[in-house]
Chain A
């Protein structure tokens, strides 16, 4: 059959042409060592004068309109292949390389994040690769102006992972990029592990960039980010939570208030320690929380949502100052419990009040209203802005119950 033969020929031609196409292909092949693996990005605000620093990469000055926004200064931390040895042992490339040399920090200015990164690419031979971006640091100043641009850029980029950390730094964000902590070979990984370990030790809630985005998007919730500061040994301290309202940072907490957040949300494991003063300074004990649980009830009273928050915390007694008190007495333990309950109640209330004042519902109380009382939500709230207003007026009833479970190896 001739048709058969023609078909066969056609088939072969198609297959052959496919192979020709494919073999000329390899469009996306880019070896791992040819990529500039970006591990961390810091974003600072830059003064408008910085425009002079910028070369005309993405736009011609004057001729093309630039966004009216102020300039940003972006610094990236790029891993240097070859400097980080393969496998454990062997103290690294040639021995003399101090930790600062495993990465390379380059900074550049631009009108937007993408603009700055374009400018940066112009200066770096290998293609910037964001697949391993683990930490994004923004300065407090920028966060207060709003992170719309930053959020949009990183959300749109398919390489960026949702499990990266975004944090707000006190002062310049770039300082965190150039910092060289001694514990890890790669500085950014140290930053990251500070927070990851924080989660494991009950010192910080899970707040990856993806979670931050989700929370900021929700109608009845606001996002928050870790607020960090670099210390003099180039170590990093988690100083608290940075509250957002929409994409603007509106305030920050102190470190112990992170415990407040964790307590209200009932997140485990628990890891904070507090002093309980029994009768004056000499008889103070310190307790460590071991397990938290919380129950949030909601009812509507006079058109205002009222949340009753019941927090139960199991604590262990860790330290005692002075020999006066004997903690093998159940009465003493009960007294410690009561005292701590009192203190906790107050601190939770203060914390909630503070967020109310800022109109930043980082706990997602609005989401509770939306899901549990949809009728009320649909009638009175409906939008994010309305909830931000209403959040300032909602009432809280906090009750804490503390239970001491263990007192360590010492009997008294």
Chain B
């Protein structure tokens, strides 16, 4: 590695930088003279820097002599350096870097480098300017009641969105670079005084051990830091909602953001998080408890419904009412396949349709999904390819799987229903049960950063049950989740009751009395 000293002269430095970056078409180098007398050169990748800012805030002050100084001729190098940084540049993020490799890394990050004859090192100026999209509604996690902002690709913007909701000095951001070639910045966020420091250290440790070419999305990191890799169940939650990140930070979790990815990772994660939404907490608890139950039912539906159908039709038709059984037999009479095959075919074609509607351009997609569901379903029935009831079952299952807010968890359950259907085809209800036991045992053995995956159900925690199947009133949930082992356990001030003794200030009786008096 070369040091500044080895690049003695001004020309050496220029040659070094030109050698490293000069081959690029978007690289610009401009020679000029500082204060009209010291030769200098400015380097930068022209598309990554803000030219206006560069011109007005860097080039102009460097070329003109500072007004407050009379004599800038023949300054000794140390003095020149001070004058430049302290008096000339009106720029907050400018510093002198000695190491040439820092210049290069600065350049590729979008900084500009100014080399001046007679000056040790070079001035690195933060001129990065990258086009970004505006802050929009998070598309995958829409809510009716709640903030409308979603993360974008820029790490800085995302951090600002979080800090804006969490205006406390205890909110800590630790940044590191991952990716041998991409040098992506990764920010690890937590709240000091809440989050267990062991957890933060472990996250840092796991992240620092990653040595990979490139990190293009937070999803890359997820796969390196999760506990168990061979499982369909996600052990890291992702979100594009800043408010969700803040809520999780406040519970004592750690968030990981990656530059270039609009999705933040949240660790550690337990299963119950996947069917909870932000909205659960903004709306009244009774309603949201009911809706959460409905979501759970949908979750179970999407997992077991087809397999139950297969096992009842093919193995235990005595369970359903006689009238219905006879009718079902009638509906199935023309179908050439056994129920297992029929369900599998329909399920697979449903998955194909679903995938296709995601990939297709939006304008076509809407049309196709209608065609897919209505026409294909109807046609399959009238062609004697599937029985009407199968179509109903498949439709319910597919719709049910979309009720799960977390896409990755819904995907896991959707995937698992295929083995269940096959088990149902072999052993009927018995097989479904065996399959469910295997899945449950697997989930029980999963851990996310040491936390059992099914917490707070297993191991039991009464406090946690208030936010598991139902969403208890906010004033019930006085503590942060116990399984996160937070330093500060209390969420609620001890005397923050909901308004119990309401003062009837506008009671018509009272007001009337007052008026009469």
Taking Cβ atoms with an 8 Å cutoff, the residues of A that contact B are 22-23, 25-26, 28-33, 35, 37, 39, 79, 81-87, 129, 131-132, 134, 159, 161, 186, 189
Contacts and interface: CB of A to CB of B under 8 A. Distances in A.
A295 to B, nearest CB: 38
B327 A87 contact: yes
Contacts, number: 86
Interface centre among A26, A33, A82, A84 (most CB of B within 10 A): A33
B316 interface: yes
A308 B390 CA distance: 60
B316 A131 contact: yes
Contacts of A86: 327-328, 330-331, 388-389
A135 to B, nearest CB: 11
A14 to B, nearest CB: 15
Contacts of B150: none
B9 interface: no
A31 B326 contact: no
B330 A82 contact: yes
Given A29-B338, A33-B333, A84 B428 contact: no
A79 B329 contact: yes
Interface string B332-363: 11110011100000000000000000000000
Contacts of A35: 317, 329
A33 B332 contact: yes
B426 A81 contact: no
B228 to A, nearest CB: 18
Contacts of B318: 129, 131-132, 159, 161
B332 A32 contact: yes
Contact of B314 (A25, A31, A186, A189): A31
B313 A32 contact: yes
A186 B330 contact: no
B330 A83 contact: yes
Interface residues of B, number: 28
29 contacts: A22-B426, A25-B426, A25-B427, A29-B338, A29-B340, A29-B425, A29-B428, A30-B314, A32-B325, A32-B329, A33-B335, A35-B317, A37-B317, A37-B325, A39-B322, A79-B326, A81-B326, A82-B329, A82-B330, A82-B333, A82-B334, A84-B326, A84-B330, A86-B389, A131-B316, A132-B317, A161-B318, A186-B326, A189-B323
Interface in B404-460: 425-428
B329 A134 contact: no
A32 B328 contact: yes
A31 B327 contact: no
A131 to B, nearest CB: 3
**Across the A-B interface, the 9 shortest Cβ-Cβ residue pairs:** A131-B318, A81-B329, A82-B333, A81-B333, A86-B331, A33-B332, A32-B317, A79-B326, A33-B329
A212 B426 CA distance: 37
A207 B32 CA distance: 108
Classify the interface of chain A: helix, strand, loop or mixed: loop
Contacts of B38: none
A189 B322 contact: yes
Given A81-B333, A189-B322, A32 B314 contact: yes
Contacts of A32: 313-314, 317, 325, 328-329, 332, 339
Interface centre among A29, A39, A85 (most CB of B within 10 A): A29
Interface string B283-326: 00000000000000000000000000000011111100011011
Contacts of A29: 314-315, 338, 340, 425-426, 428
Nearest to A188: B322
A30 B428 CA distance: 10
A40 B265 CA distance: 62
Nearest to A134: B322
Contacts of A186: 322-323, 326
Given A33-B335, A35-B329, 14 more contacts: A22-B426, A25-B426, A30-B314, A33-B333, A37-B329, A82-B330, A82-B334, A84-B330, A86-B388, A132-B318, A159-B318, A161-B318, A186-B322, A189-B322
A85 B314 contact: no
A189 B338 CA distance: 28
A81 B315 contact: no
B339 A26 contact: no
Contact of A129 (B317, B332, B427): B317
Contacts of B326: 37, 39, 79, 81, 84, 132, 186
A35 B329 CA distance: 9
A31 B325 contact: no
A250 B323 CA distance: 35
B429 to A, nearest CB: 11
A26 B426 contact: yes
Interface centre among A25, A131, A161 (most CB of B within 10 A): A131
A239 to B, nearest CB: 25
Nearest to B431: A22
Contacts of A82: 329-330, 333-334
A99 to B, nearest CB: 13
A93 to B, nearest CB: 8
Nearest to A130: B318
A386 to B, nearest CB: 40
Contacts of B389: 86
Nearest to B332: A33
A31 B313 contact: yes
Interface centre among A23, A30, A32, A37 (most CB of B within 10 A): A32
Contacts of A189: 322-323
A86 B323 CA distance: 9
A161 B321 CA distance: 12
Contacts of A26: 425-426
A129 B325 CA distance: 12
A372 to B, nearest CB: 39
Contacts of A87: 327
Contacts of A31: 313-314, 332, 338-339
Contacts of B333: 33, 81-82
Nearest to B311: A29
Contacts of A134: 322
Contacts of B427: 25, 28
A87 B340 CA distance: 23
A278 to B, nearest CB: 47
Contacts of B328: 32, 86
Contacts of A23: 426
Contacts of B330: 33, 81-86
A302 B389 CA distance: 68
A394 to B, nearest CB: 42
A350 B331 CA distance: 54
A121 B248 CA distance: 65
Nearest to A28: B315
Contacts of A161: 318
A83 B330 CA distance: 7
B320 to A, nearest CB: 9
Interface in B227-259: none
A257 B437 CA distance: 54
Nearest to B325: A132
A207 to B, nearest CB: 19
A23 B423 CA distance: 9
A161 B320 CA distance: 12
Given A22-B426, A28-B315, A132-B318, A85 B339 contact: no
A252 B339 CA distance: 48
Contacts of B426: 22-23, 25-26, 29
Contact of B327 (A39, A84, A131): A84
Interface centre among B328, B330, B331, B339 (most CB of A within 10 A): B330
